[in-house]
Structure 1
Amino acid sequence: MKLANNGFQGNLPSSLGNIKSIEFLDLSHNNFHGELPRSFVMNGYFLKYLKLSHNKLSGEVFPEFVNFTVLWELSMDNNMFTGKIGEGLRNTKYLQLLDISNNNLTGVIPSWIGEFPSLVALQVSNNSLEGEIPISLFYLPYLLLMDLSANILSGDISPRVKSNDLTFLFLQDNHLSGQIPYTLVENLYVLDLRNNRLSGNIPQFTSTQNIHTLLLRGNNLTGSISRQLCGLRNIQLLDLANNRLNGSIPSCLKNTSFGFGK
């Protein structure tokens, strides 16, 4: 059932809970508001695709009685959901895409999200999530995209992280500190760490050839720009502005698009 991009408004009808055989439901880009009906979230065990993006829905996002056990794709971004990422989400073991960005969520990112073996995309940006990034997220075997940007995440990025198949990693606009692990970028195409509190030297990225966008603006990085960066053959955009770097720019990077300004 696809009802997206209309002018529907009001609360979601509780009768949605009676449609027990539906697999696809797209109510995105409307003006629905209020909380999700209890009957709906308790009886959603046939749903594989649920899209509620760009509404004005509110309330707790994953209460314990949620029953979306076979869900593959869950998009609830750009709403007004509040509270923590609840235990009700933990039952969605087949989840491949989770987008709960642009809400008012608080608390920590649960480490058990790293138990979703099929997860390909994790998007929780623009909330008020805090605490450290669970290392379990970096061991998801099929994860390609992780966007945790614009939260209040803090602490060091563990040196034990492995990017596996991770291709796009967005951690900008948080409170992350410590050094950047060189293992973080082994398979990445895009790494965005802008506007954190990271320190130390720019890592010696000697084991990656894929990265084409490296954004480190607005941190506390020190030292010079190493010629090791010349080995990044596919680098197209390198933003190092607003750090504490010194020395000269290696001539081998002359064909790279730089960000050194404000």
Structure 2
Amino acid sequence: MNDNLWILDLSNNSLSGTINITFSIGNQLHIIKLDGNELQGKVPPSLINCKYLEHLDLGNNELNDTFPKWLGELPDLQILKLRSNKFYGPIRTDNLFSQIRVIDLSSNGFSGELPVTLFQNFQAMKTIAENSGTREYVADNLFFIYTNSLIVTTKGLDHELHQVLTTQIIIDLSRNRFEGHIPSIIGDLVGLRTLNLSHNLLEGHIPASLQNLFELESLDLSSNKISGQIPPQLASLTFLAVLNLSHNHLVGCIPKGKQFDTFENTSYQGNDGLRGLPLSKHCGGDDRVPQAITPSELDQEEEEDSPMISWQAVLMGYGCGLVIGLSVIYIMLSTQYPTWFSRLVVQLEHIITTRMKRHEKRY
């Protein structure tokens, strides 16, 4: 391969077989895009020779490999896309990937817990770029000879970015088999614009540290097993335009205010324990949904609302008790079985006395 080549773009063709390109030492490649083909096998180890590489896209192929952590040794790598392949296994890294701004590992077979060390190493994501008034792009030195586009997924739809700003910081680990908790250390990536961890096996709570992601525009944690409440601190994320927490095990009240007042039902559906707007289950004393009143409760309310009827019932109770008492005494004196009648008397007296006390307490 020509050592003076800066861009290798063979995307969206019908290439098949393995990637049999050998990248020589000292090459000048800044962008390699082989996405949208039918390439198989493993990621070629000779990519480690591409010391100037800024953008690597191997997405939408049939590559079958573990996570190529050694790519983290490339000092200028800012975009890594391995989406829609057959990568598998846990992600283990060392002190690498310090310049990464976009990492898309979605729609693979990665498993295990989310790699805390990987997030720790994303140094470029831990700063917010100062607004200098000028736009800076990934591979900016090639801006006049090549359009460095990028496909990102938001709301389940793919969108093309014709140029990739250095402020466009994205993590997409969706549609894998990651499990365990969401690491709170993600809250340190204050430059993050898009975070997609949907369609995994994640459990535990949403970390309140996500409130530190002041630049966050899109958050998708849908289709996991996340429980607990939505941290009210997330209402402080004023740039949050897309939120999807659907199909989890969340409970409690949905935070109010700012961006949370703009999200629709689809952001929360599939969480039976959630309440509050925009859902039909409301929060608060005055907003609670009225419950059906049983006939016995209705009768009790009518008795409480009608003192005349209640006092009549009291007088009737006294009269009935007097008649029943005299009748029982007569039967006991005129029969030979006073024992079981005496038990009956005790029970009747208890019933009558209990009813009298209820009416006396009420009025």
TM over 0.5: yes
The Cα shift of 1:62 comes to 5.1
Contact 2:99 2:124 (C-alpha < 8 Å) held by counterparts: yes
Alignment of 1:35-54 (within 5 A): 43-54=1-12
Give the partner amino acid of 1:153. Answer: F
1:248 Cα offset (Å): 1.4
Supply the distance in 1 between the matched residues of 2:72 and 2:20 (Cα, whole angstroms): 17
- Indicate which of 234, 238, 241 corresponds to 2:243: 238
Could you tell me whether the CA contact under 8 Å between 2:23 and 2:50 is conserved in 1?
A: no
In the TM superposition, residue 249 of structure 1 has moved relative to its aligned partner by 0.7
Following TM superposition, by how much is the alpha carbon of 1:260 offset from its aligned partner in structure 2, in angstroms? 2.2
2: distance between equivalents of 1:62 and 1:238?
A: 42
Q: Is the 8 A contact 2:59 2:83 kept in 1?
A: yes
Q: Structure 2 counterpart of 1:259, which letter? A: S
Choose which of 94, 103, 116 in structure 2 pairs with 1:146: 103
Counterpart of 1:213? Answer: 218
Flag the structure with higher strand content: 1
Q: 1:228 to 1:103 in 2, by over 3 A?
A: same
83-92 or 121-130, which moves further after superposition?
A: 83-92
Q: Which of 89, 92, 107 matches 2:65?
A: 107
Q: For residue 185 of structure 2, what is the aligned residue in structure 1? A: 183
The residue identity in structure 2 corresponding to 1:84 is K
Q: Write the letter of the residue equivalent to 1:235.
A: L
- The corresponding residue for 1:66 is 23
Cα distance between partner residues in 2 of 1:210 and 1:80? 36
d(CA) in 1 for partners of 2:8, 2:247: 41
Q: Out of 82, 91, 114, which is 1:157 matched to?
A: 114
Which secondary structure does the structure 1 equivalent of 2:203 belong to? strand
Q: Is the 8 A contact 2:73 2:96 kept in 1?
A: no
Equivalent residue for 1:195?
A: 199
Q: What does residue 36 of structure 1 align with?
A: none
Distance in 1 between the 2:115 and 2:84 partners? 22
The equivalent of 2:303 in structure 1 is: none
- For the structure 1 residues 224 and 62, does the alpha-carbon distance in structure 2 shift closer, same or farther, using more than 3 Å as the test? farther
Aligned to 2:338: none
CA shift, 1:92, in A, is: 1.0
TM-superposed deviation, 1:168: 0.6
Aligned to 1:183, the other structure's residue is in SS state: helix
Task: After TM superposition, give the deviation of residue 140 of structure 1 in Å.
Answer: 2.3
- More deviation, 158-167/92-101: 158-167
Q: CA deviation at 1:233?
A: 2.3
What is the match of residue 169 of structure 1? 171
Q: Which amino acid aligns with 1:121?
A: I
Aligned letter for 2:64?
A: T
* TM-score under structure 1 length normalisation: 0.77
Aligned residue identity for 1:58: S
On the 8 A contact 1:129/1:152 being kept in 2, the answer is yes
Q: Which amino acid aligns with 1:192?
A: N
Q: Which runs of 5+ in 1 are unaligned?
A: 1-42
Matched residue count: 218
* Alpha-carbon distance between aligned partners in 2 of 1:79 and 1:221, rounded to the nearest angstrom: 35
Residue ranges of structure 2 left out of the alignment (5+ in a row) = 126-168, 271-363
Note the C-alpha offset of 1:228.
1.6
Q: Which has the higher contact order (CA 8 A, sep 6+)?
A: 1
Whether the aligned pair in 2 keeps the contact of 1:235 and 1:256 (CA below 8 Å) is no
- For residues 206 and 260 of structure 1, what CA distance do their matches in structure 2 show? 19
Q: Given residue 230 of structure 1, which amino acid in structure 2 is its aligned partner?
A: A
Alpha-carbon distance between aligned partners in 2 of 1:87 and 1:98, rounded to the nearest angstrom: 13
- Percent of matched pairs sharing the same residue: 31
1:73-112, aligned counterparts within 5 Å?
73-112=31-70
Letter in 2 for 1:260: Y
**Relative to structure 1, is the Cα distance of residues 144 and 59 closer, same or farther in structure 2, using a 3 angstrom cutoff?**
same
1:62–1:221 CA distance, 2 compared to 1 (3 A): farther
TM-score of the two chains, using structure 2 as the length reference: 0.57
Distance 1:52 1:121 in 2: 17
Query: 3-state DSSP class of the match of 1:206?
Result: helix
CA distance in 1, matches of 2:232, 2:19: 47
The offset of 1:120, in angstroms, is: 1.4
Secondary structure in structure 1 of the residue aligned to 2:15? strand
How far the C-alpha of 1:181 sits from its partner, in A, is 1.1
8 A Cα contact 1:62 1:85, kept in partner: no
Structure with bigger helix share is: 2
Residue 227 (structure 2) pairs with residue 222 (structure 1) = yes
Q: Does residue 249 in structure 1 map to residue 208 in structure 2?
A: no
Once the two structures are superposed, what CA deviation does each residue of 1:27-70 show, in whole Å capped at 9, x if it has no partner? xxxxxxxxxxxxxxxx332211011001111222156x432732
